[in-house]
């Protein structure tokens, strides 16, 4: 499975592509960061993020795009920019027909390090160890994007099956004799 991980952000948007299957160490395909200048207005910066995501999706043709789920931080401006960049990433992936999954930072940390409370340096070190790299990808946004992709390779199929089972169970059962589009005489 080829996964494009995206660590969304307006200043730096991290990208990481890995290939792998659950239970085995994945292979790094590519890693990088798109930067936007803070002096530009938000709309122009979002266009720059869109262009970068478009290029990564077209170049690497992932089977799935894993985006970090935005969570509330203390700085509302940072959260807004991150959420807007995440929305752009999801839009581009959907436009290309790619499934999009969201993973929380703690899910990713737990998958890669074994602890949902790991710090950025621990995530980077484990990404390097898992992929047999000499050093973690830089900057941290790039390492986080690769960690997202790794987490999805390892946990995504299980999460997808779980979500499908929950959805199937949540559907109301039809009483006997009640087929779709038919009425029962009373």
**What pLDDT does residue 77 have?**
78
**What pLDDT does residue 78 have?**
82
**Mean pLDDT, rounded, for 123-131:** 97
Flag whether pLDDT at 40 surpasses 90. yes
- 87-115 pLDDT per residue, tens: 999 999 999 999 999 999 999 999 999 99
7 is in an annotated binding site: yes
Higher pLDDT, 170 or 45: 45
**Mean pLDDT, rounded, for 141-148:** 98
Confidence of residue 164 (pLDDT cuts 50, 70, 90): low
Residues catalogued as catalytic: 7, 68, 141
**What pLDDT does residue 71 have?**
78
**Inter-residue contact 130 to 112 (CB < 8 Å):** yes
Supply the Cα-derived Rg of the chain in whole angstroms.
19
**What pLDDT does residue 4 have?**
98
**Mean pLDDT, rounded, for 118-145:** 97
**What pLDDT does residue 42 have?**
96
Instruction: Report the mean per-residue pLDDT for the chain.
Output: 89
ω into residue 139 within 30 of 0, thus cis? yes
**Mean pLDDT, rounded, for 25-41:** 97
141 is in an annotated binding site: yes
Confidence of residue 163 (pLDDT cuts 50, 70, 90): very low
Alpha helix (H) ranges present in the chain? 42-60, 76-95, 105-113, 120-131, 140-170
**Inter-residue contact 122 to 130 (CB < 8 Å):** no
Flag whether pLDDT at 84 surpasses 80. yes
Structural domains of the chain in order of their starting residue, each with its CATH number? 2-170 (3.30.420.10)
């Amino acid at each position: 499975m080829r996964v494009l991980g995206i660590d969304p952000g307006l200043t730096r948007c991290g990208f990481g592509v890995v290939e792998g299957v659950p239970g085995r160490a994945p292979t790094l395909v590519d890693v990088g960061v798109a930067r936007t200048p803070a002096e530009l207005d938000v709309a122009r910066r979002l266009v720059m993020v869109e262009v970068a995501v478009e290029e990564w999706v077209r170049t690497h043709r992932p089977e799935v795009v894993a985006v970090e789920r935005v969570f509330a931080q203390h700085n509302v401006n940072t959260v807004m920019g991150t959420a807007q960049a995440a929305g752009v990433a999801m839009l581009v992936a959907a436009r290309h027909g790619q499934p999009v999954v969201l993973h929380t930072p703690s899910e990713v940390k737990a998958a890669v390090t074994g602890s949902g409370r790991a710090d950025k340096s621990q995530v980077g070190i484990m990404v390097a160890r898992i992929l047999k790299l000499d050093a973690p990808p830089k900057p941290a946004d790039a390492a986080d994007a690769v960690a997202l992709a790794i987490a999805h390779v390892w946990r995504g199929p299980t999460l997808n099956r779980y979500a499908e089972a929950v959805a199937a169970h949540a559907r109301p059962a039809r009483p006997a004799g009640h087929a779709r589009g038919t009425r029962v005489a009373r």
